Each structure stands twice: as structure tokens, then as C-alpha cells.
């Protein structure tokens, strides 16, 4: 892992990550950490902090205290947070998987079970190391980690890169798999634009043109994602962090459902997909007896992800 200068970190935080302008729809829909790495996500329970959902995450109190100390080596923006008093699963982290050949070729993957490519395997090793240093090694009070992943091999490989060195079991869950894109799966985005210009434009503008070809409705993805997160969060103890490794569209649509954004804008256009091998953190908050989730970090990753080496490492 490369230690970064304050200038590099500041630049990374300022610019963030946005979808590629030439393919807005693909950028939103392509596969994620939950968390974690884009093929991941996490959540945490702690004695003094609420649970965080990430796609990996920590409870707000811990995350808030850490931001100033830890951002030196790990890039990404955060949404802040305040200390909670109720004991809920503290943080959940969602991570997106590393790169695949389809990612590199700008093809829609959906539920095609394609593995990580060589660059993707390198990316998830960098992210797994960052996650362990930030959220495990520096915080021995978080005694346990619960690791969940999509049943697709690219997300499973991302999860194992984090879990195996810690001796943790990985729990696959079909509800965490990527959104299905029906007949469009496996087709390059440029080809979709040429073969189906009107429907491609409808998809790119969040008007649902992909649904004609058997794509899974975004509302269904969000519902199954929230159901899975709530189930696994309920199984995490007060000393346990929950890590969920998933995909780009799944994370975006689950997050918008979880935070209630989909009730305001039903087109699911409010949150862009994360980069490969990046993560999200959520913190729980109890208000008037009801559990809500707050966004702590989004599209967070190792600082090296803001260099040319992230897509073109010297392997």
C-alpha cells in the first residue's frame, strides 16, 4: 500500500468519482462493497455504536472519530455522523467486486457469472488490505466480523480476499446478487446504443427502456437487497461488524431503497454506481423507536485508486 501525501488525499476527496459521461446508464448499472469493494458491503454492531451498512461500514460514532485519523491513506468522501446511544448493529459496509473482463470491455454483466480478471484480483487485494487495516486491525473492540456476499463468483472472490486472512466464513446469499438485465446481458454498451437506440436512450435517461428485454425492475432489486441486509443485521451481535460484498446496480438500488430516496424519485437516478473494489458505510440511528440508516461514506477506496495504477497495475 502506498502512503499518500496530504495533497493527494485532498485531491481524491475533492474530485470523487462520477459515471463516465459517454455511457451514463452503464455507469449507473454496472456491477460492487456493498459495500465493499464493488462487489461488497458491510455492517457493524458495537457496544457503543449503531450498526453500519456498507458495503463495509462501522457505527457512526466510531466512523466519525476515525475520519480525521484514517483518511490519510484511504480516499473517498464521507457524509459525517454523530454518536448514537442505542445499541444496534453498528455499521454495515457494502463493497463492490473488483474488475472483470466485461467491466473492461464495457459489457453489461448482470447475473452472468463471470470471474474477476487479473487486474480485478489485484484490486480486491488492495481493498481487502485497506479494509482490514481500517476496520479490523485498528479497532480490536470490534471483536467479530460477519461476511456476506452475492452468490456470483466475482463478488465471492472479493469477499474471500477480505475474509480468508482473518479466518472468517463467507456466507453467500442469492438476494445479494446483481440486478438481472435479461436479454441485454453480455452485450457491449456501444452495441446496445446502435441496436436499440430508442430503448438504450430510455434506459440512459432512467425511463425503463431495458424492461422490454427482461431486465429486473429496480424496485425489486431494492426490496430484496433491503430484506437481505435486515436479515443479516439482525444476526450480527453487538460486537460484530457486517460486511456485504455485492455489485454496482444492487448497491445503488438497495441504498436508495434503504434511505427512502426511491419513494421520492422512483427512477432510482439519485445515486451513481461505485467504482470497482470500493465501498459504502452506513450507520444506524434510532428515532422515536424506529431504526433508520445514515450514509457515512460512499465510493470509498484505497488512495491508489486515484492513480493510473488502479486500472493499469504493473502485475
DSSP notation for 168-231: --EEE-GGGSPPP-GGGTT-BHHHHHHHSHHHHHHHHTTS-GGGGGTPPPHHHHHHHHHHHHHH
In this predicted structure, what is the pLDDT of residue 104? 93
In this predicted structure, what is the pLDDT of residue 92? 61
In this predicted structure, what is the pLDDT of residue 67? 29
Q: Exposed, middle or buried, 82 (CB in 10 Å: 0-12/13-18/19+)? A: exposed
In this predicted structure, what is the pLDDT of residue 61? 25
How far apart are the C-alpha atoms of 216 and 211, rounded to whole Å? 7
3-state percent breakdown (helix, strand, coil) of the chain, nearest 5 = 40, 20, 40
How far apart are the C-alpha atoms of 285 and 292, rounded to whole Å? 5
In this predicted structure, what is the pLDDT of residue 91? 56
- Sign of the torsion formed by the C-alpha atoms of 121, 57, 55 and 143: positive
Q: Exposed, middle or buried, 154 (CB in 10 Å: 0-12/13-18/19+)? A: buried
The rounded Cα 16 to chain-centroid distance in angstroms is 15
- The grid coordinates listed for 40 are 461488497
Average pLDDT across each block of 10 residues of the chain; the chain has 315 residues. List them in order.
31 34 32 36 36 32 29 43 40 79 95 96 96 90 89 96 97 98 97 97 97 98 95 83 94 95 96 93 83 89 94 92
Amino acid at each position: 500500500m502506498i502512503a499518500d501525501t496530504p495533497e493527494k488525499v485532498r485531491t481524491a476527496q475533492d474530485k470523487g468519482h462520477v459515471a463516465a459521461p459517454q455511457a451514463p446508464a452503464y455507469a449507473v448499472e454496472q456491477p460492487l462493497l456493498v459495500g465493499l469493494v464493488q462487489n461488497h458491503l458491510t455492517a457493524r454492531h458495537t457496544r457503543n455504536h449503531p450498526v453500519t451498512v456498507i458495503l463495509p461500514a462501522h457505527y457512526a460514532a466510531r466512523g466519525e472519530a476515525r475520519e480525521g485519523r484514517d483518511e490519510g491513506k484511504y480516499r473517498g468522501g464521507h457524509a459525517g455522523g454523530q454518536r448514537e446511544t442505542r445499541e444496534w448493529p453498528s455499521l454495515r459496509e457494502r463493497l463492490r467486486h473488483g474488475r472483470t473482463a466485461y467491466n473492461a470491455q464495457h459489457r453489461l454483466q448482470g447475473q452472468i457469472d463471470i470471474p474477476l480478471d487479473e487486474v480485478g484480483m489485484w484490486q480486491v487485494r488492495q481493498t481487502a488490505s485497506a479494509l482490514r487495516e481500517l476496520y479490523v486491525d485498528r479497532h480490536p473492540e470490534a471483536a467479530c466480523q460477519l461476511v456476506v456476499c452475492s452468490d456470483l463468483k466475482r463478488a465471492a472472490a472479493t469477499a474471500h480476499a477480505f475474509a480468508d486472512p482473518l479466518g472468517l466464513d463467507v456466507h453467500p446469499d442469492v438476494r445479494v446478487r446483481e440486478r438481472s438485465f435479461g436479454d441485454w446481458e453480455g452485450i457491449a454498451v456501444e452495441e446496445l446504443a446502435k441496436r436499440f437506440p430508442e430503448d438504450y436512450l430510455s434506459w440512459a435517461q432512467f425511463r425503463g427502456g431495458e424492461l422490454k428485454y427482461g431486465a429486473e425492475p429496480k424496485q425489486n432489486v431494492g426490496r430484496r437487497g433491503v430484506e437481505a441486509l435486515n436479515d443479516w443485521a439482525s444476526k450480527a451481535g453487538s460486537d460484530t461488524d457486517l460486511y456485504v460484498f455485492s455489485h454496482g446496480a444492487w448497491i445503488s438500488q438497495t441504498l436508495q431503497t434503504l434511505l427512502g430516496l426511491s419513494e421520492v424519485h422512483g427512477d432510482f437516478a439519485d445515486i451513481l454506481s461505485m467504482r470497482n473494489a470500493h465501498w459504502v458505510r452506513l450507520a444506524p440511528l434510532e428515532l422515536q423507536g424506529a431504526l433508520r440508516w445514515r450514509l457515512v461514506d460512499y465510493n470509498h477506496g484505497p488512495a491508489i485508486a486515484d492513480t493510473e495504477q488502479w486500472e493499469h497495475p504493473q502485475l
